Structure 1
Amino acid sequence: MWILVFFDLPTETKEERHRHSEFRKSLLKDGFNRFQLSIYTRCCPTVEHANMHIKRVKNFIPPKGTVSIMCVTDKQFGKIVIFHGPKERPAPKVSPQLELF
């Protein structure tokens, strides 16, 4: 399971820039990786684990701006097609899933 956090936060004032920076730092501290400028991702082994991280993100969302959170399966995330300029790039490496028997 992958968590994708999309955000569009205001950065017009010094306080807003500080909140934007703190939000990004909080995502990084919680194990998210930058996928694009305002998109961060995190791989979770279970839905329960993903829900725990979603609750954490909700706790440090700034008062202004928009934050969206989406969960996709490992298989869905693996089907991402990335274009950089005119060339197609391979999808990012998928973290191995933990299997318990």
Structure 2
Amino acid sequence: MRDRIVRTIVFFDLPNIYAKDKRNYLRFRKYLLGEGFIMMQESVYSKLVLNNNQSELLLSRLRKNAPKKGLIQVLTITEQQYSKIEYIIGESNSKIINNEDRLIVL
């Protein structure tokens, strides 16, 4: 089976009542952005990953950087599945890549 480009989607709901909770929320959000995730909507972030092995490595890093409280869910789907998202209200974000073209930097 050939490696497929996959999209890792992170859904999270973190407490932010107390100052410590807010710091944890902001730290986790900053971590996601630093990893290259793009915000799809509030508390939903996605990242294009080259294959399932890379996705597993990303998942282990997410576990290490997750706050102790709250809910964090991860869904990994193929880019082909992701491209079938239907927008009921609103428009697609042009920052999100919806194809399998690869960028090679030399």
In which range does the TM-score fall when normalised by the shorter chain?
0.7 to 0.9
Per residue, is there more strand in 1 or in 2?
1
Deviation at 1:90, TM superposition (A): 5.0
Letter in 2 for 1:69: V
1:94 aligned residue (93, 98, 106) = 98
Q: Give 1:1-101 correspondences, 5 Å limit.
A: 1-84=6-89, 89-90=91-92, 93-98=97-102
Whether the 8 Å CA contact 1:45–1:97 is kept in 2: the answer is no
Unpaired segments ≥5 residues, structure 1: none
Structure 1 runs of 4+ off > 3 angstroms?
A: 89-93
Please, what is the CA RMSD of the aligned residues? 1.6
1:51 Cα deviation after fit: 0.8
CA distance in 2, matches of 1:58, 1:90: 29
Q: Gapped runs of 5+ residues in structure 2?
A: 1-5
1:46 to 1:12, Cα distance in 2 relative to 1, 3 A? same
Q: Distance in 2 between matches of 1:90 and 1:9?
A: 25
Instruction: Give the TM-score taking structure 2 as reference length.
Output: 0.82
When normalised by structure 1's length, the TM-score is 0.86
Secondary structure of residue in 2 paired with 1:84: coil
Q: Equivalents in 2 of 1:64, 1:40: separation in Å?
A: 19
CA contact (8 A) 2:9 2:75 kept: yes
Distance 1:30 1:95 in 2: 20
**Matched residues, number:** 95
* Percent of residue pairs identical: 26
